Amino acid sequence: MKKLLFILSLAICLLSVPLTGMAAQTEEQQEYEEAIADNLKEMLKGSIALDKISAENKSYQLKWLEAEQKPEDARTIAEKIKALESEQKKDQESMDPYNKAIKSCEKKLNADGANAALENVIRIQKDRIEDQEELLKLWKKIDRLLK
């Protein structure tokens, strides 16, 4: 009888553990999310902008690769683009430490730390957007030369 009672109480404990994970957000969690909301939105906007510019650059690169005749001026610009891309890659700061910090702060519900990390991510994104826009100008020059 005692064994049955023990097993039954153990089963109830084990079954009730996952249910606590489905509980409503705590007040601390909601405060954390509200505190980082603006920076999170800004980061997502930066991510979208980077994706758009990158896609546009790749479409121009595809046109360049498919072009049958490549004028000498366009070849020179393409070489500049390659050099600029490699220079930008060397100078690019990694977002990995900041992304790890964001995850760590999220676990601890540390809004100040998460906002600081998000601000650094936003700063890096802005730098990358500037770099991509510089490349985009060069790709547009090549596109005009190909027409």
Within a domain: residue 4? Answer: no
Residue-wise pLDDT tens digits, 46-105: 999 999 999 999 999 999 999 988 999 999 999 999 999 999 999 999 999 999 999 999
Residue-wise pLDDT tens digits, 19-34: 555 555 789 999 999 9
Within a domain: residue 88? Answer: yes
Q: What is the overall mean pLDDT for the chain?
A: 89
Residue-wise pLDDT tens digits, 122-135: 999 999 999 999 99
Domain that holds residue 129: 82-147
Measure the CA–CA gap between 23 and 18, rounded to whole angstroms: 10
Within a domain: residue 105? Answer: yes
pTM (2 d.p.): 0.78
Within a domain: residue 73? Answer: no
Within a domain: residue 138? Answer: yes
What's the domain count of the chain? 1
Identify the residue whose tokens are 């906002």.
115
Within a domain: residue 67? Answer: no
Above pLDDT 90, what percent of the chain? Answer: 78
33 to 36, 53, 124, 143: CA distances (angstroms):
5, 29, 22, 44
Within a domain: residue 17? Answer: no
Within a domain: residue 118? Answer: yes
